[in-house]
Structures are given as structure tokens and as C-alpha cells.
Amino acid sequence: MSRPRAVVVGSGIGGLAAALRLAARGYAVRVLEALDRPGGRARVFRQDGFVFDAGPTVITAPVLFDELFARTGARREAYVEFVPVDPYYRVVFHDGATFDYVGDEERLLAQIRAFEPRDVDGYRRLVALVRRIYRAGYLGLGDRPFLRKRDMLPILPAMVRLRSYRSVYGLVRQYLRDERLRRLFSFESLLIGGHPFRVPSLYLLIHWLERAGGVWFARGGTGALVAAMVRRLEELGGELVLEAPVDAFEFGSRTIRAAVTADGRRWPADLVVANADPLFVYRHLVPPERRPGTPDRRLRRVRTSMGLFVLYFGTRRLDVELAHHTVWLGPRYRGLLDDLVVRHRLPPDDLSVYLHAPTRTDASLAPAGHDGFYVLAPVPNLRAGIDWACAAAPLAERLYDQLERTLLPGLRAARVTQRWLTPADFAAELRSVDGAAFGPEPLLRQSAAFRFPNRCPDISNLFFVGAGTHPGAGLPGVVLSARVLDRLLGPVPGLPPLVPLARLGPPA
């Protein structure tokens, strides 16, 4: 008997994780990728001898990748090496103060004490609550399918007890007095595209996920992780097809029979997994009459996340001390974020930025005697109406000015190559609606059962993985979305049941 056929639309981390799980279940898997390289947001740019990871660089919960490879009968360590990063992040404030966010509690508390002695006790009490949020939100909900809004009813009392209705910043503010520490312990929601004053405190679980499980980097860059997943998929008989954008679906009564790519090729499917922006899929690939459960009026209500401007550059080796990850927080916090997310405008003054310096961990990513970087700045998405063809170069110069003034003296004289990504590129290359970098904004009304469900309510064989569906953006979120797919498809004879997240860790 021939194997059932699965088509995965998109080769981001979520799509590749889904493809591996489907291959382990016995499917004949084809992954159709629109671009000329795999990875989606995690693809790789190679330029002038430098290797630039396009997007995600922070690996948390590495056990999720260990479990994913184990599901296929392999050891992750045989395919890609994860290197611990210490400090997790170096946070530099506009007043010159520096804080190394680390996993070791004594090192962490000593730094908090130097900022505000009274906040040591406050932080301890905050972390006690965060661990409860982690148990409920990550261990309890992380790979749980939510197909209907009423699926949230059993967990609402716990969410109320944990004050999930408060914002991340609002809850942190209750425990910490020093404004710099409040910003330090609330900025992590930005890693999933969330405004700390709007994102529900449920997302504070990210803090414990990092504290307990560490922050890691893939040797060779995140692209090495993508390559490892592709290699394992091909060993299992799966196929990756590049430069194959899906432009249409061929429908049965309540199913998709095939995906059709831009060149007219037809790819038959018994099951389709979209590792794509659900807003794009519903607007452009599934006509309204095929999705009465997801009407246009609901799509119009979705709030998309912020955009990103990512500036990649290579330099001759700079004689400066740098952490692998540095977050520079400017003088404004809520005002800046409101400009970007609420008022949809690019502010004229300094931006807060994240600087990635991977060659400080892995020198192979640049030519000998050189450093590779990217600096990431949150910006408004395309609803702001910014003409990025005109705005990109001036913004790059602003960022170079800021970096030379703060973190990288001598930058301009040492620079040898550069490139950038704008929200317009996210829209054109990744088919991200509004050029949003993280899909729907992680508001309370767009989380868990209120996010796009992992299975289409109207098309029985269409599933979603990736940042736009439950549980959301970030590497743990997109990998967990593939575990949700595994749960929805049910047990398979000969394949062990999924290990509960509480047994995988990190522990609470």
C-alpha cells in the first residue's frame, strides 16, 4: 500500500519540524519552499565571505529539538551542536549602566542588588509567580490543541489566579522598584513581537524558560540547524523543493486535493500543513466560500505585530569587548513602543536595538580577522505607510551612528559589507501580511484559543504550524506548533506516545 502524501507549504523551522514529525508517522513528505533556500525567517545570507543568519538566533528549550530528532530515531547532537551562551544577554542602558542577564541565581541577584537592594526580595517573589505561570502556560498549554474558543474555559480560573489579564510590564512593576530593572525583566516579550505594556503576563513564562533551560547558539549559526533538519528529512525519504511558491489549492468537498505552484505544477496531498502566515493563506489561497468558520470580518479584526528592520554588516575585527547578545535600551520605553505599535510612526530619536555578534562565539561565520553582526530595530509594520525604498538607507545610517556612539566605536571605518531587511521584504519574500515580523500581535485576545487554530475548522486536512498559530512566535513556539500537529493526528501504531512537556523540561 502506498504511503499517505503530505505537502508542507514553507520550510521555516515550524514547517521542517512538522515535516520531520510527518515523516516519522510514515507520510511521504514534500516541502514546497518559495525561496531559493530553506529556513524562511531562519534562512541564511552569504556575502563577501560572511555568513549572516537572517532571523532567529536565540535558541531556548533545546530539549524540544532533542525530542524532535528522537521522534525520528536520531540524536540531535549527531546533526548540529548547541553551544551555551553566557551571558544570555548583556543589557546596556542609556545612562551607561550594564546588566548581564545570566542563569546563575547568585550572579543575577548580586547585579539586582547593585541596582536596587530592595528589589532582590521583589525579584524572588516575582520569579516564584513566573514559575507558576510557566507551569500553567508552557507545561500545561504549550502543545495543547485549541480548536474552539470554549477550549479555554477549563483554564480561565488559573489564568485569573495568575493575573494573566495584566500586562507583562504591569505585573513586573508590582514587584520591582527600579525602572531599569522593570524594563530589563519585561523586554523579553519583544522577542515574540509583543509590546510589554500590551502583552498578557502569561508570556512571562519566557523568563523561566530561559532561566531554567539556558540560552544556546547553534554552531555554524541557526542556518546549521536548518541544514540539519533538512538533512534528517531527506534521510527519511522526504523532499525539499525550492523556488516553488504555492499559488493555489485544488479543493475537494471539504479537503485540499493538491497544492499548485506558480509554475503550474500540481502536488497531490492527503494532508496539507501551512507553515505560512494564516492571514495570507485565508486571504489568498482559501476562498471565502470554503471557510465559513473563518469569515473575512474576523480576518479584518486581526492585529498584526510590529515590523523589523534588520541591518547585517561585516567589519574588520573591532577591538571592543562584546557579548554574543546585547540589548541597548534607549531613554524612552513605553513612548517608543507606542510610537512603533500604536501610532505606527518611526520616531526621530534613538531606537532601542538588539545587536547580534555571533563571531564572538563562532569565528567561522566571517573571514579571518573579521567580525559579522546584525542589528535589529523594531519598526512599524506596513500599516504605517512608510516607503522603505526611501527610508531604509537613512535608517541604516542612524543605526550606524547610534552603534558607533554606544557599543562599536570605530565601526564605520572598519565596515566592509552590509545588507538589510525591511517590513517590505517580509511582505514580498515571506508573504507576511503587513510585513509583520511575528504574525498576529500576541495580545490576550490573540493567544491560545483566540489565535488561529492549528487545524482549519472548515477544511479537514489543512493544518497550520509556525508563528501565526498556537502557541506563537519564537523558536520554542514554532517547534511546539508541530507537536500540536502530532497530537491532532493521534497515535500511530509502532510510534511511542508523545512525552509530556513536564517530563522533557526544563523543570519548573
DSSP state of 434: G
State the average pLDDT over residues 366-387: 97
pLDDT band for position 506 (cuts 50, 70, 90): confident
pLDDT reported for residue 408: 97
Neighbours of 428 (CB within 10 A): 11
DSSP state of 502: H
Q: Are 223 and 214 in contact (CB under 8 A)?
A: no
DSSP assignment of 63-100: HHHHHHHHHTT--GGGT--EEE-SSSEEEEETTS-EEE
DSSP assignment of 291-309: -TTS-HHHHHHPPB--EEE
Residue corresponding to grid cell 502543545: 143
* pLDDT(150) > 80: no
Q: Are 4 and 28 in contact (CB under 8 A)?
A: yes
Q: Give Cα separations from 460 to 215, 291, 474 (angstroms).
A: 38, 11, 27
Reported as type and span, the H/E element at residue 52 is strand 50-53
3-state secondary structure of 483: helix
Nearest to 318 by CA among 373, 382, 388, 393: 373
Exposure string of 57-69, with b = 16+ CB inside 10 Å and e = fewer, is bbbbbbbbbbbbb
Exposure string of 368-380, with b = 16+ CB inside 10 Å and e = fewer, is eebbbbbbbbbbb
Cross-strand partners of 12: 39
pTM over 0.85: yes
Cell of 36: 531559493
pLDDT band for position 140 (cuts 50, 70, 90): confident
DSSP assignment of 302-367: PPB--EEEEEEEEEEPP-----SEEEEE-S-SHHHHIIIIIS----SSPPPEEEE-GGGT-GGGS-
Cα 449 off chain centre by: 19
pLDDT reported for residue 111: 98
pLDDT reported for residue 496: 92
* pLDDT(154) > 80: no
3-state secondary structure of 495: coil
Edge-to-edge strand ranges of the sheet holding 98-101: 98-101, 89-93, 325-329, 353-356, 370-379, 307-316, 415-421
Which tens digits make up the pLDDT trace of 158-191? 878 888 889 999 999 999 999 999 999 999 999 9
When the pLDDT of each residue in the chain is averaged and rounded to a whole number, the result is 95
Nearest to 286 by CA among 497, 461, 118, 155: 461
Which tens digits make up the pLDDT trace of 309-353? 999 999 999 999 999 999 999 999 999 999 999 999 998 877 999
pLDDT reported for residue 149: 79
DSSP assignment of 211-275: HHH--EEETT-HHHHHHHHHHHHHHTT-EEE-S--EEEEEE-SSSEEEEEETTS-EEE-SEEEE-
Cell of 44: 541564511
3-state secondary structure of 376: strand
Q: Which residues contact 260 (CB under 8 A, 6 or more apart)?
A: 246, 247, 248, 249, 250, 266, 267
pLDDT reported for residue 148: 82
500 exposed, middle or buried (CB, 10 Å; 0-12, 13-18, 19+)?
A: exposed
**Separation between Cα atoms, residue 291 and residue 282, nearest integer Å:** 8
